[in-house]
A and B are shown apart, each in its own frame.
Chain A
Amino acid sequence: MFSPYKFEIESLNAWFGSKHVLKNINMKIKEKAVTAVIGPSGCGKTTFIRCLNRMHEIVPGAKVSGRVLFNGMDIYNEDVDPVQIRRKMGMVFQKPNPFPMMSIYDNAAAGLKLNGIRDKEKLDSVVERSLKLAILWDEVKDDLNKSGASLSGGQQQRLCIARALAVEPEVMLMDEPCSALDPIATAKIETLIRMLAEDYTVVIVTHNMQQAARVSDFTAFLYLGELIEFGSTKEIFENPRSELTEKYITGEFG
């Protein structure tokens, strides 16, 4: 069954306790492209991205309904092991969160090591490959045994991207990956995102509209838990269909 879509989201709803945070979302996310999710604070964009790799449900009281087809298979089917799903998707968080007790090397190798791979040669090559992919290798190759926490914020975030890439995911989910970074570090990550889109499906949550315009191919606008508009980034920014989208993009509220 061939489909150009990596994710097909059908009537997705999500709750925290009794709070209904995502309302009937329908959306198709294209393979090997960057899809940005924008919207004001509290609109549900983080919850949305966390529903894609079943991270939403680890919070006590969180609930999901609807279907999320990943490669045509519903990840919320009863027989699906969420651990297996998460291994196919890398996730990068708002605040860089390298494992504080681990070296740079161990951070990059964490996904493999924690899942039982001990082969030193394999680990070495994966660490080098993923640090290179994350454009961090040249900066850290002589300090691989130093603590991951000793790096600067931007380097830490690229280390987290390397850590996520090391398990060879098909998808990269990025939850406001630049919100804690300065403009130079942000520019580096944005370049990286464009490069990643050649081989990976990237979904990025951002509150920065310029960033969405710069890096994404498709943009989804969420407001109060509803998907207001979804389309190519060019369309959304140049010719939005919804008045609400236009107001948000032009900075009238947000």
Chain B
Amino acid sequence: MASYKMRKIKDRFMRILVWLALLMALIPLFSILGEVVLKGASSINLNFLTQPTPTVGEAGGGVANAMQGTLLAVGLASLIGVPIGLMSGIFLSEYSETKLSPAVRFFNDVLNGFPSIVIGIFGYTIIVLSIGFSVIAAAFALAIIMIPIVTRTTEEALKLVPATVREAAIALGVPRWKTIVSVVFSGAKKGIATGILLSLARIAGESAPVLVTMGYWRWWFAGLDKPVANLALNIYIFAISPFENWQALAWGSALVLVTLILGTSVIVRIFTREKY
């Protein structure tokens, strides 16, 4: 009897501990979100969303050019990074009998742990030195940051699909590639989508690699081989500036960036919702 009572007490204690840990994890999330919304909301208005960066001393101005730049750089980076990451993930999960796989997996993890500034400098030496600061250079660096995240999450998501499901399809006389594309993928699409979202959120918020590949730019998009403004960089530059209206712009930019990321993940969630 005593031991049962003891067990109950221990159970209650551990439960409280788990709840406290959950609370501790949620406090920073909601306080950041709350602060960004509170301080950013006041600077959001039509001008803010349609005007480009103001010059020093100029009142008003907005982040339209930075939104344009972030969407372009992130979009272009995804065009490069998502297919490569997906394919590598498929290779690691579905063709793991090759001797190459452990090496690929290892270097992928190493790449995942690289400081993003190093990847930015790599982009600088490879692209900026030949064509100059540009959207292309930023997209290249951001794509390299994306690839290991997408690869890893795709591999994990595909591995969760039971082997028996693959065997069922293969025994029906479905070729291996078709089995992967039609059966395995549909079972893993939620996990894969989550991985892509994670990587999008990560690169949309990167500022260091963008700074060394695209530089700081205050004007509109003028071509993929030219630089353009960027939300994450805006936050960095505006926040450390001494001007009050710029600091307000930094909060606004943060709110726009967070909204873009949250919005994308809600849309993707709706599209990958499971039928059953």
Complex contacts, A97 vs chain B, CB 8 Å: 162, 164-165, 167-168
Q: Which of A55, A90, A111 has most chain B Cβ within 10 Å?
A: A111
A100 near B165 with CB under 8 A, answer yes
Per a CB cutoff under 8 Å, which of A84, A87, A101, A103 touches B172?
A87
Our pick among B173, B175, B276 for the contact of A111 (Cβ within 8 Å) is: B173
B97, B169, B171, B187: the one within 8 Å of A100 (CB): B187
Which residues of chain A from 59 to 104 have a CB within 8 Å of any chain B CB?
Answer: 60-61, 83-91, 93, 95, 97-101, 103
Given contacts A101-B274, A114-B183, contact A55 B170 (CB under 8 A): yes
Q: Is B125 an interface residue (CB 8 A)?
A: no
Q: Are B183 and A115 in contact (CB under 8 A)?
A: no
Q: How far is the CB of A108 from chain B (nearest CB, A)?
A: 11
Within residues 83 to 108 of chain B, which ones have a CB less than 8 A from any CB in chain A? Answer: 96-97
Find out whether the CB atom of A167 lies under 8 angstroms from the CB atom of B173: yes
Q: Which residues of A contact B44 (CB under 8 A)?
A: none
Does chain B have a CB within 8 A of A164?
yes
Q: Is B178 an interface residue (CB 8 A)?
A: yes
Complex Cα–Cα for A87 and B169 (A): 10
SS class, residues of chain B in contact with chain A:
helix
- Chain A: minimal CB distance from B276 (Å): 4
Measured between C-beta atoms, what is the minimum distance from B53 to chain A in Å? 47
- Indicate if the CB atoms of B174 and A101 lie closer than 8 Å: no
Which A residues from 115 to 171 make CB contacts under 8 A with B? 115, 146-147, 149-150, 160, 163-164, 167
Q: A114-B178, A149-B276 are in contact. Are A93 and B172 (CB under 8 A)?
A: no
Q: What separation, in Å, do the CA atoms of A110 and B170 have in the docked complex?
A: 11
Which residues on A sit within 8 Å (CB–CB) of B274?
Answer: 101
Residues in A neighbouring B275, C-beta threshold 8 A: 101, 103, 147
Contact B173 A110 (CB under 8 A): no
Which residues of A lie under 8 Å from residue B97 when comparing CB positions?
A: 60-61
Bitwise, A175-192 to B at CB < 8 A (1) or not (0) is 000000000000000000
B42 within 8 A of A: no
A146–B175 Cα gap in the complex (Å)? 27
* Contact for A93 among B164, B179, B276, CB less than 8 A: B164
* Contacting pair B167 A114 (CB below 8 A): no
> A53 within 8 Å of B by Cβ?
yes
- Inter-chain contact B168/A99, CB cutoff 8 Å: yes
The reply to whether B170 and A84 form a contact with Cβ atoms under 8 Å apart is no
A91 with B165: CB separation less than 8 A: no
Q: Flag if A160 contacts B168 (CB, 8 Å).
A: yes
Q: Contact partner of A101 among B164, B175, B187, CB < 8 A? A: B187
Set A100, A115, A146, A160: member contacting B174, Cβ < 8 A: A115
> Could you say which of B171, B178, B187 contacts A91, with CB atoms under 8 Å apart?
B171
CA–CA, A90 to B167, complex, Å? 12
A88 and B276 alpha carbons, distance in the complex (Å)? 31
CB pair A114 B170 closer than 8 Å: no
Q: Are B172 and A86 in contact (CB under 8 A)?
A: yes
CA distance A83 to B170 in the complex (A): 8
Measured in the bound complex, the distance between the Cα atoms of B106 and A152 in whole Å is: 42
A55 touches B171 (CB 8 A): yes
Q: Is A58 an interface residue (CB 8 A)?
A: yes
For residue B175, which residues in chain A have a CB less than 8 angstroms away from its CB? 83
Query: CB-CB < 8 A to A115: which residues of B?
Result: 172-174, 178
Interface string of B172-200 (1 = CB under 8 A from A): 11110011001100110000000000000
Q: How far is the CA of A100 from the CA of B185 in the complex (A)?
A: 12
Q: Residues of A with Cβ closer than 8 Å to B?
A: 53, 55, 58, 60-61, 83-91, 93, 95, 97-101, 103, 110-111, 114-115, 146-147, 149-150, 160, 163-164, 167
Q: Could you list 29 examples of A-B contacts with CB < 8 Å?
A: A55-B167, A58-B167, A61-B97, A83-B174, A83-B175, A86-B171, A86-B173, A87-B172, A87-B173, A90-B172, A93-B168, A97-B164, A99-B183, A100-B165, A100-B187, A101-B186, A101-B275, A103-B276, A110-B169, A110-B172, A111-B172, A111-B173, A114-B169, A114-B182, A146-B276, A147-B276, A163-B168, A164-B172, A167-B172
B residues in contact (CB < 8 Å) with A: 96-97, 162, 164-165, 167-175, 178-179, 182-183, 186-187, 274-276
A97-B165, A101-B187 given. 13 additional CB < 8 A pairs? Answer: A55-B170, A60-B97, A83-B175, A87-B173, A90-B172, A99-B183, A99-B187, A101-B275, A101-B276, A110-B169, A114-B183, A160-B168, A164-B172
